[in-house]
A and B are shown apart, each in its own frame.
Chain A
Amino acid sequence: MIAETFIRGRGPLYGFDPRPKFILLIFAVMLFLIESNLIVIGGLLLIILVFISVSLGIKRVLIPVKSILPILILTALLTPPFNTGGTIFLSLGKHVILTDHGIQLTVRLILRFSGITAAFYLFFSTTETSSFILALRALGLPYPAALTVTISLRYIPDMFSTYSRISDAHKLRTAGSIRNNRGFRHRVHRLFPVLISVLIHAVKSIPALAMALDSKGFGRSNPRTSCRRLCGWGKISLQLIISTSIIAALTTLAVLC
């Protein structure tokens, strides 16, 4: 199991530095959350979907929306009856079901959630995890915090294989007795010994990892070497100008509409 969401490709966003890309992501999310004009957030969603089709291929445009379809349906069904201001379109007895305010809010929430989902999907599909962490580091994340995230990502496949191995070993030990009992209680009862074994294995590896960090010189004041570095801010000036222009254009559009 590899904790990676990056999809290899050759679209325009792949060459874009992760730092302005991350700033643009934050800005897009803020705009989706703050802006109430349907044309602005609809337009922004459309731009992101166009970028997904150009960068990742047309087949992937619907993937982010498909994953959130149940919650979009829930939003569409449950939001209008709880927002009954404005002109009434439909009512059952005393209960107002559908009004123009309700419809507007529903559309806004659907566009907002689809937009945020698509923006995150585009970012994590076109940015390698290591580049993302380097970008966070460049934007002010302290070194110990970045190191913690990196080590966690390194240990996820390890923990997954530990869980699989221990789980298989426990299954083999109880192979004769599990056939006729597959209820919820039995599943939980069978799971606990596996979880205890995994946790003891994990906890025991903490002192070894701490010792490894010490041996590698963690905490010393001399400068650290690094396999990969992001280029200086000066080299991505064009990308920064493009990003700033996009932010300025969208803010102006949002203010004018």
Chain B
Amino acid sequence: MNENMERKNTSGRIAAIAIMTAVTMVFTYVVRIPIAPTRGYINLGDVAVFFTAFTFGPFTALISGGLGPAIADIVAGYSQWAPITFAAHGLQGLSAALVMIALSRRKFAEPVAGLAGMIVMVGLYLAGGAFMVGFAAAAVEIPMNILQNAVGVFGGFVLSRAVKKAYPPVSRLAW
């Protein structure tokens, strides 16, 4: 009986991670909001990472948060960034979810968790980028990464609340 329950738990977890990885990849690769002044764009990968962290918990956020953007990097032709992306976004989701659990039911849990995720992601991209292209060139990316994270925290928080309200059984999928 216990073995059967354990197997069911594992398949549920694999399903959750696989589906959220696909969602994160599509949010990163396909959904882009152009920013008029710079002709650049914000991708919504971070929205999916924070949504997963706030909704599904640390382990799903770690794997799907890392894997989704890494696959997007490979498909987009930037596979050289994939290992750094996997670590940066995976640990971003993990840290946000862990802080969220630690501060559960406190007033500013989501923004603080988002800030923790942002610091981890921006720090890891800076460290990885400095190793690959030098500190000065890597530092240029910091403002854009912070902006993307800010959009991610806000979007992830709003979407998590909306999905939990519209489909309450989603809370049972967290672990």
Residues of A within 8 A of B (CB): 1, 3-5, 33, 63-64, 67-68, 71-72, 74-75, 78-79, 81-82, 105-106, 109, 112-113, 116-117, 119-121, 123-124, 144, 147-149, 151-153, 155-156, 158-160, 163, 184, 187-188, 191-192, 195-196, 198-200, 202-207, 209-211, 213-214, 218-220
What are 20 of the A-B contact pairs (CB < 8 Å)?
A63-B77, A71-B133, A74-B136, A78-B140, A82-B135, A105-B134, A109-B132, A117-B80, A120-B80, A148-B18, A151-B14, A155-B18, A156-B25, A156-B26, A159-B25, A191-B33, A196-B162, A206-B16, A210-B8, A210-B14
Number of CB contacts from chain A to chain B under 8 A: 178
Q: Is the CB of A148 within 8 A of B14?
A: yes
Q: Known A74-B137, A79-B134; judge A152-B71 contact (CB<8 A).
A: yes
* Interface residue B119 (Cβ < 8 Å from any Cβ of A): no
Closest chain A residue, CB of each to CB of B82: A120
Q: Is the CB of B31 within 8 A of A163?
A: yes
Q: Known A117-B80, A156-B26; judge A109-B133 contact (CB<8 A).
A: yes
* Interface residue B62 (Cβ < 8 Å from any Cβ of A): no
Which residues of chain B have C-beta atoms less than 8 A from A198's C-beta?
23, 26
Which residues of chain B have C-beta atoms less than 8 A from A148's C-beta?
14, 17-18, 21, 63, 67
Q: How far is the CA of A204 from the CA of B23 in the complex (A)?
A: 13
Q: Is the CB of B134 within 8 A of A147?
A: no
Which residues of chain A have C-beta atoms less than 8 A from B10's C-beta?
144, 218-219
8 A-B pairs with least C-beta separation = A78-B136, A219-B7, A151-B18, A155-B22, A152-B21, A209-B15, A213-B11, A120-B79
